[in-house]
Amino acid sequence: MTLSYLSLGSNLGDRLGNLKSAVAKLREKVAVTSLSSVWETAPIDCPAGSSPFLDMVVSCEHEMNERELLAFTQSIEKELGRPNEHEKNSPRTCDIDILTFNDECVNEPELTIPHPRMKERLFVLAPLRELQKDAFQFGKEYASLLDAQEVRLYAPAFILQQA
């Protein structure tokens, strides 16, 4: 059984509904073991006028390999309205990133694990810290991100328990 952490985000349409749908679709093939709260964050490196994101992290156990998990998460994004071709950091109904895959490292053009920018993004670190305070280092970088990035708690995890 493989343990993975996934980051989910949405800044188009019914943002909370998109996250609920993504969690429900994840549960079709993986055992979702924990859900973070939902955090609202200012869009980072997005086009001017982009709406704020709702972000969260889920932990899940599954039998897929890295590429199968990537294909599965991309199929969920597409099903929820994200086009195959899109500009980097463009607004989206659903974005799912693989943060970790057990303790494995992957460095390929279409997939890098652990996610290369997860420690730079408070919208990933804040929900990840809820789920795994002891597993990841949250040092000075985390404290400086708190000052530099707009992130606020939007909804508790139980809002998504029914998804």
- Cite the active site residues: 82, 92, 95, 97
**Rounded-to-integer distance, Cα 112 and Cα 104, Å:** 10
Upper half-sphere CA count for residue 29 (Cβ side, 13 Å): 16
Q: Which of 139, 130, 129, 63 is nearest to 101 (CA)?
A: 63
Place of tokens 């993986």: 30
Q: Which of 128, 103, 125 is nearest to 114 (CA)?
A: 103
- Asked if residue 58 lies in contact with residue 35, where contact means CB atoms within 8 angstroms, the answer is yes
Q: Give the E-state strand segments of the chain in sequence order.
A: 2-10, 31-35, 38-41, 53-62, 95-101, 106-108, 111-113, 151-155
- 53 burial (CB, 10 Å; 0-12 / 13-18 / 19+) is buried
